[in-house]
Structure 1
């Protein structure tokens, strides 16, 4: 007899996964989607297979809030392995250059200000950036040397956590678009050496930190997908950095239909570039306030409405 097809659920929320080593972000999303029997899922910010740590996964209507997490500040902890450069700037690539020079902790600390603030970075050749319509890593794997255009990135903080002759551990707080592998490469070059990233761990993405994360093994310990739901974070957790507009029943009905709602009261905002509307704590929509009206751009449907 053929196996009965699983019925997918209309379930919404954020699952903050502690992604394990040697798993792609796509594989992680697929695993979580299967465990929760979810109709729809997506992630906020790709992690390399060899990286571990925070991978926020959106289920159902939470996928409409992915950009607000993906564009948030990120924190990484990483190990720089001194003395060898690789084709991929990490342990996966072939060694292409070596150096006997090992910087001291003082030398390393002294040059970190050169890599904070808004700086210019050339992304690694083995990256997902598109060059003339093709992924850079596809070109690199085919033996080509893609011309990687420099880009401006913002690094808010960079500090040394531990230092050794062969490996140093650093923590970086940065904005979207930063390549930690390129950062390690450039730090080594500034110090007259070569290096690659031997360990990469993401400790935070936007509002989510390691304290919020759960492992796949933890989720597998639950008997069924409904029991796992208690690990989900509400959609509103992804929007805490935005202004909240609280609506009454009548206003909420209008917004649920995609229509604007006039905001009443002495403290009602007149203009907000980006805001989210709620009713009794539930997120209804993301939009803007213009001339005293909340105008939805993305309506968040309740799970019950998705089943109809």
Structure 2
């Protein structure tokens, strides 16, 4: 007779929204997601792009209807603070790899400013081998650990801002605001190359993604210390990821038709992205674009999701 106690399965529930998490050092983005999902007992969840285990900071997590807009955060501009060790070049571009070269650091503030200026604007990057970018279904870092180098196509990225936060001896801290797909590790190596002494990343923290910032985020430890209702209260509405998009509000009849996916005539200028609402203040309906006077749906909430986010039961 089997007398082993039966494991009680934690019941999951439908939650809709976005949790801004301050990811700790050493934890993968997926591990952080699974811990938060378990703490909230959520049915459906996803993150908005991988943050390296050796990086800390903002990781927006999407739940339920919020997952429909995770791509918005993935495509958004990002902001980071990065600490560089000057005078050192490693196999991985950070402190985890083997040191390949060491050089004396004899620089002026003006030299560093000039090098930063050369990296602002549109630049070309080659993704590092030690990255999660996939090649034939496997991340590049697996090939790198096996001593295999894969040819990677270069990509255009935009560095909107690159500023010195602190500099002393061989330690340089910078603030970066950049387009999606930018590798700050590669940016650090490029800066070291321009300075003539080499550089590698020693710390990285994501501070913003689109309209949301790490100041609004909570740590996993702090989340675990809360009651379940307090955790749920931290969920922001899905449209928080679209807060910097123009808003368009529809009447009740037009809102109902829009939710079916029908194109609507609107008195609005063409726009690549708009967030769409019904007549009630909280009635977020989804994302769309306006083209030649027509409102064309991109991502729609279901009527049940709209009602749930408004705090009213589905009919």
TM-score for both structures, normalised by structure 2: 0.89
1:234 paired residue among 233, 237, 241: 237
Matched, 1:79 2:83: yes
Assess if the C-alpha contact under 8 Å between 2:105 and 2:170 holds in 1: no
* Distance in 1 of aligned mates of 2:259 and 2:13: 21
Q: How has the CA–CA distance of structure 1 residues 70 and 292 changed in structure 2, closer, same or farther, with 3 Å as cutoff? A: same
Partner-residue secondary structure (3-state), 2:286? strand
For the 8 Å contact 1:274–1:289, the answer to whether it is kept is: yes
1:117-196 alignment to 2 at 5 Å? 117-131=121-135, 133-196=137-200
Contact 2:13 2:43 in 1 (8 A): yes
Preserved CA contact (<8 Å) 1:128 1:135: yes
Counterpart in the other structure of 1:282: 283
Aligned positions of 1:1-308 closer than 5 A: 1-131=5-135, 133-224=137-228, 226-263=229-266, 268-269=267-268, 271-279=270-278, 280=280, 281-290=282-291, 292-301=293-302, 302-303=304-305
| Paired residue secondary structure (2:156) | strand
CA-CA distance at 1:228 after TM superposition: 0.9
Instruction: Tell me, in whole angstroms, the C-alpha distance in 2 between the residues paired with 1:242 and 1:82.
Output: 39
1:59 and 1:119 map into 2 onto residues whose CA distance is 35
The whole-number CA distance in structure 1 between the counterparts of 2:269 and 2:206 is 39
Distance 2:208 2:119 in 1: 20
Helix, strand or coil for the counterpart of 1:31? helix
Residue pair 1:255, 1:285 contacting (<8 A) in 2 also: no
TM-superposed CA distance for 1:83, in Å, is 2.3
| Offset at residue 105 of structure 1 (A) | 2.6
Partner secondary structure for residue 42 of structure 1: strand
1:271 Cα deviation after fit? 4.2
Q: Which runs of 5+ in 2 are unaligned?
A: none
| Ranges in structure 1 where 5+ consecutive residues have no aligned partner | none
CA deviations 1:154-184 (Å, max 9, x no partner) are 0011111111112111111111111111111
CA distance in 1, matches of 2:179, 2:296: 29
Deviation at 1:291, TM superposition (A): 5.2
Q: Output the CA distance in 1 between the equivalents of 2:220 and 2:308.
A: 29
- Whether the 8 Å contact between 1:271 and 1:290 is mirrored in structure 2 is yes
The 8 Å contact of residues 83 and 99 in structure 1, kept in 2 or not, is answered as yes
Shift in alpha-carbon separation, 1:53–1:305, aligned structure 2, 3 A: closer
Question: Aligned partners of 1:283, 1:40: CA distance in 2, in Å?
Answer: 19
Normalised to the residue count of structure 1, the TM-score between the two structures is 0.91
- The alignment partner of 1:16 has SS state of strand
Question: How many angstroms does 1:100 deviate by?
Answer: 2.3
Alpha-carbon distance in structure 1 between the residues aligned to 2:180 and 2:308: 34
The CA deviation at 1:133 is 5.0
Give the Cα–Cα distance (whole angstroms) in 2 for the partners of residues 110 and 203 of structure 1.
24
Give me the CA root mean square deviation.
2.1
After superposition, the Cα gap between the structure-2 partners of 1:189 and 1:6, relative to the gap in structure 1 and judged at 3 Å, is: same
